[in-house]
Amino acid sequence: MIGIVGILEDVHKAVFPHFREPGRAVVLLRASEPGDLTDAESEFGSSEYAKEILGSMWGFPPALELEREAALQKGLVEMIGAGLVDSAHDCSEGGIAVTLAESAFGKGIGLRVNLPSMGLPPEFVPFGEDASRVVISCDRCKLSGIQQVAAKYGLSADEIGETVSDQVEIKLDGRVVVSASVSELRDSYEGALQAALRADPELVV
């Protein structure tokens, strides 16, 4: 794990990872296109879902293209500097489903999104850990500005849904695959360590 410390010249331009209010557009920024089924299956084997749910690991981690990642970061910094973004959260461990849930926890603001399957198995889209992706939220009137900056850096900026009150709903090709209250998911997330310790006495020191 690498930690990076920087200087923020204007603290008023700080953007946090959690959603700020209902009624905002939820946008997926990505720097590269997803691979084909063979690549996706191989990369899925290194995901938290494969490890924790399937109990198996295989393949190799998602490839990181440094030039495309740099373009994503530069584009995101420009969007934030222009005041276009309400929140921004990178997609990493657990995939976009975990990113969306974590974005809801800070202020209890939920979401309703619809993700395309792109011909992949249903677990791959919400729980795959493709590199160089960021979930942002914004006022809908600023979508065109975000897409202009995205095009400048060769990024895709796809609106996938909206923020709502205390509910997390994720659809895949229009079919609901996740539906729960923010509080329910937050309790499970924040109580995971305690639950693990209770389930395995050998972990208690």
Kindly list the domain boundaries of the chain, sorted by start residue.
Answer: 13-199
Helix ranges (DSSP H) in the chain = 37-44, 48-49, 66-81, 95-105, 124-127, 143-152, 182-190, 192-199
When pLDDT is cut at 50, 70 and 90, the band that residue 16 belongs to is very high
| Tens digits of residue pLDDT in 117-146 | 988 999 999 999 999 999 999 999 999 999
pLDDT higher at 156 or 199: 156
pLDDT(59) > 90: yes
Give the mean pLDDT of 15-36: 93
CATH architecture of the region 13-199 = Alpha-Beta Complex (3.90)
Please tell me the predicted confidence (pLDDT) of residue 17: 96
The gap from C-alpha 119 to its chain's centroid, in whole angstroms, comes to 20
Higher-scoring residue by pLDDT: 136, 13: 136
